């Protein structure tokens, strides 16, 4: 990407329902995209409401009782913001597989608990990026993952970061990392 230094952060979220506020982000994982993929963040968050959908919660493999023992969301979001600030070079860019879902929860939680979002107001959808690269709306990137997609948000962020690196290394994506 031309025009300045940026750092890409592949992020994945698990939640106990479809929207933030009414429902809760229960875990988040993030990997800074660079060679080695060794800069990582993950946390479990305590629910912010009494509402939850058992089927949504079961995707993560967690029980409601387990989520109630997790860390306070404001503390997690502050740790996450501090981690981003300590690791980024230039602007921090949010990237995810399911951008509508992951961005919605992450952005809402940052603004709700901290008053601002270190990623700013925009993000990148990994699937859309790949579709543009291969010029087909019916193709997906998931075969480029190495780490299995387990619904542990750190595993999923890592697999998606691996896919982004492979897009750069094997497919010629022009992205400064």
Positions annotated as catalytic residues are 151
Separation between Cα atoms, residue 47 and residue 127, nearest integer Å = 29
Using CA atoms, how far residue 55 sits from 42, 70, 98, 103, in Å, is: 22, 19, 18, 21
Distance CA 101, CA 83 (A): 22
Give the tokens for residue 122: 């925009």
Name the DSSP letter for residue 11: E
Largest CA distance in the chain: 47
Quote the tokens at residue 152: 């542990």
- Give the single-character DSSP code of 71: B
Q: Hey, what are 57's tokens? A: 């919660």
SS3 letters across 48-61: CCCCCCHHHHHHCC
């Amino acid at each position: 990407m031309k025009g300045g230094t940026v750092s890409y952060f592949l992020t994945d979220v698990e939640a106990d329902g479809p929207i933030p506020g009414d429902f809760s982000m229960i875990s988040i994982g993030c990997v800074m995209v660079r060679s080695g993929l060794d800069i990582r963040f993950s946390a479990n968050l305590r629910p912010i409401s009494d509402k939850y959908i058992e089927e949504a919660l079961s995707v993560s493999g967690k029980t409601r009782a387990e989520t109630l023992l997790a860390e306070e969301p404001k503390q997690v979001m502050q740790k996450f913001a501090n981690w981003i600030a300590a690791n980024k070079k230039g602007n921090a860019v949010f990237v995810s597989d399911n951008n509508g879902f992951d961005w919605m929860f992450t952005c809402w939680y940052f603004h709700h608990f901290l008053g601002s979002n270190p990623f700013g107001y925009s993000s990148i959808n990994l699937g859309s990026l790949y579709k543009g690269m291969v010029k087909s709306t019916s193709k997906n990137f998931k075969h480029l993952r190495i780490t299995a997609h387990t619904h542990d948000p750190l595993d999923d962020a890592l697999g998606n970061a691996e896919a982004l690196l492979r897009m750069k290394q094997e497919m010629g994506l022009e992205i400064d990392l």
